[in-house]
A and B are shown apart, each in its own frame.
Chain A
């Protein structure tokens, strides 16, 4: 069930009506059933896997909390990690690794024909396995008491607004909200409606119109012009941002209408002035997950300079692989790892500690840094979107061959026209340092802004229920 489908609007309407009529326990039961219906609408068989993940982590966490023996505790947390990573590894990476092994052996002249299985990738598997696994780890680390009620825990894992494309919520944040009665205040309602409207605008107007520009360009493998590559990369940058942050906004908005608070997953990422800042602003729930459950356990920056860089690269390569079972994602992760490593080395050389927030500077310097980081990000999106090395090579070659033909200017104007409102609002949010800027405007101005967004969405939106890009991860 896609957020941008009429089916979801009916579904959510029914959920809201029931939700208002039920007491807290009834609300939790109803949300759990609704979440399973929501997920099962893709394929009911996915529910089996989903249930296995939920049950495993619920039981492992209880055992971790109950046992006093460190060895036993460790073995249960290891069991949780093995089951989660086993499911993820099999369903997402089995064919990728066997094909890659065959390719590697072929280089050495060894013929290996792996058994290629017809495996369907369950929607959102990377999101919910990470979310569920982090719960067991948090209980193991003593940061959280285990949830005694299986159904409450199942709701934490399956909560439908953020189930298939995040944000990857931590149990420390979401689980208490499941356990306690929730109150839907007028502020929650207005914020929820605003987020849903803005999310749909980003997805249906910005992202899906950008997709119409992007798809024909990336459908070819060779014969690119520089103009095509630049337009394609720029449009894809807005497409993926509009698509993913639009989903996150709708998720946050629907959760708000149910009285839940879901974390912000994006914070003006294209205004980043350094690679480190970018990862503090882009897909925040994943980058912080990777930091807390991978980078820091690997040693973080506590085991010397060389080990710090190794940990950084390992985290980013695995982060790339998390996005998809393809070598282009490995390259994408490596590219970002290299950017972070170079930035870190630069900061160390200048005697500064690398921080998520870039230091203050003149407006010109800030502008130049933002532009430079945006260009680096654009190239990373080329890597991300290319379907083969050959395509990436061809596109990279064509990058240097730009001429300002009328075709290029028309394409550029089209991209900027679709992104104009998004860029305008975000410039204001960045300048005022206020992500809720629009909600602070006078009601009449807000209403006028929303009206423009609604009518652009209704008239120029793409209504063919395009799936969200991050569902495939």
Chain B
């Protein structure tokens, strides 16, 4: 240490580098401690904190942003009746790895839900979101788990290191800030976890937006690509379903509605057939019941972008799911679970 200090003192270039390193550490630490975190990160923390604080619901809703925004736990619980409770722990920008880790954390505290309603957007299985999990969600043991998952370790290590640099974590937002763009505020707003408050917030938000004429837009290529599952997504999905099965948790699988054009485009590339086959494979191997017979299609007016829909459509979808769940739940309650059938009715 003393030798290093002497070298730094003697060499102007090294002194400059030491000053630079010191300044970077001070800036990054300061920003890390006092800089605002993004809505996404705050939302993850709040969802997990709530899950650790509250008792386990009868039905735990999980999935990505579509499940987060369009499955209203209150509406589903109302349809279920019998004083059954439901809670939405879906998190935007996440894949099966976050569903797995969330369920694992909840089970570790001794809270076991009776069932999970899992409603991921099918196209998300093609892409990996390990960088989000490693950089913003996982605990250190979970990062080690990610490293053992067979996914690109460089991607995981790089994303994990982002935790130490506020600047790298929020470089896009900082660039926008320096360019004087105001949209940046939206990236740092406080998340709304409470469902009633969330409905009010989104109704206000969506009322301010201009309606989109989807007929003039090309459906995004990523929604129309053939159905594929990235190996790491398959890995965590299987572990998620195994974990649920080991704890006697029934998983109900829901398919979120899409626009007619998306549905047709997917039919043309065989996406829907492949996804059905994939789900049937899961239902045959795990304690998974499929809630829908076919792929739901909603009118374009229900959507505020090509994948997410507005509050009335969310209420409608949640009510539909609730009704289907009630039927499935009643059958499940009457006897032991056998392999589920395509329509979600558990076999005997």
Contacts and interface: CB of A to CB of B under 8 A. Distances in A.
Contacts of A459: 167, 171, 174-175, 178
B13 A194 contact: yes
Interface stretch (B14-22, B115-123, B139-147): B14-22
B38 to A, nearest CB: 16
Nearest to A447: B19
B211 to A, nearest CB: 31
21 contacts: A10-B154, A186-B8, A187-B11, A187-B13, A190-B11, A190-B17, A194-B16, A194-B17, A439-B12, A440-B12, A442-B12, A443-B12, A443-B19, A446-B13, A446-B19, A447-B17, A451-B20, A451-B23, A451-B24, A459-B175, A460-B175
A446 B154 contact: no
B276 to A, nearest CB: 36
Contacts of A394: none
Contacts of B30: none
B23 A447 contact: yes
A6 B167 contact: no
Given A6-B154, A442-B12, A450-B17, 8 more contacts: A5-B154, A443-B15, A443-B16, A443-B19, A444-B19, A446-B12, A459-B174, A460-B178
Question: Which 7 interchain pairs have the tightest Cβ spacing?
Answer: A190-B13, A446-B16, A447-B19, A443-B15, A186-B7, A6-B158, A186-B11
Contacts of A447: 15-17, 19-20, 23
A427 interface: no
B10 interface: yes
Contact of A193 (B17, B168, B174, B178): B17
B315 to A, nearest CB: 41
B165 interface: yes
Contacts of B174: 459
A190 B14 contact: yes
Interface in A96-146: none
A435 to B, nearest CB: 14
A454 interface: yes
B337 interface: no
Interface of B: 7-8, 10-17, 19-20, 23-24, 154, 157-158, 165, 167-168, 171, 174-175, 178
Contacts of A10: 154, 157
Contacts of A450: 16-17, 20
Contacts of A191: 13
A455 interface: yes
A388 interface: no
Nearest to A463: B171
A458 interface: yes
B171 to A, nearest CB: 5
A172 interface: no
B10 A186 contact: yes
A458 B167 contact: yes
A7 interface: yes
A423 interface: no
B17 A458 contact: no
Contact of B14 (A186, A440, A458): A186
A94 interface: no
A186 B14 CA distance: 7
A189 interface: yes
B19 A439 contact: no
A458 B12 contact: no
Interface residues of A, number: 26
A89 B174 CA distance: 49
A344 B219 CA distance: 61
A46 B290 CA distance: 50
A451 B14 CA distance: 14
A129 to B, nearest CB: 30
Contacts of A6: 154, 157-158
Contacts of B154: 5-7, 10
A190 B17 CA distance: 7
Contacts of A190: 11-14, 16-17
Given A447-B19, A459-B171, A454 B24 contact: yes
Nearest to B13: A190
B6 to A, nearest CB: 9
A447 B20 CA distance: 5
Contacts of B7: 186, 189
Interface in A427-473: 439-444, 446-447, 450-451, 454-455, 458-460
B57 to A, nearest CB: 40
Interface in A189-241: 189-191, 193-194
Looking at B17, B157, B158, the one whose CB has the most chain A CB atoms below 10 A away is B17
A256 to B, nearest CB: 11
Nearest to B23: A451
Nearest to A444: B19
A447 B24 CA distance: 10
Nearest to B10: A186
Nearest to B170: A459
Contacts of B19: 443-444, 446-447
A309 to B, nearest CB: 46
Contacts of A455: 167
A187 B8 CA distance: 10
A190 B158 CA distance: 26
B176 to A, nearest CB: 10
A182 to B, nearest CB: 17
Contacts of B20: 446-447, 450-451, 454
B157 to A, nearest CB: 7
B284 to A, nearest CB: 40
A426 B165 CA distance: 30
A439 B165 CA distance: 27
B143 to A, nearest CB: 15
A187 B16 CA distance: 12
Looking at A440, A444, A455, the one whose CB has the most chain B CB atoms below 10 A away is A455
Contacts of A7: 154
Given A10-B154, A194-B17, A447-B20, A458 B171 contact: yes
A439 B23 contact: no
Interface in A6-52: 6-7, 10
A439 B17 contact: no
Looking at B8, B10, B154, the one whose CB has the most chain A CB atoms below 10 A away is B154
A6 B156 CA distance: 11
Contacts of A194: 13, 16-17
A413 to B, nearest CB: 13
Contacts of A5: 154
B312 to A, nearest CB: 40
A318 to B, nearest CB: 40
Nearest to A191: B13
A197 to B, nearest CB: 8
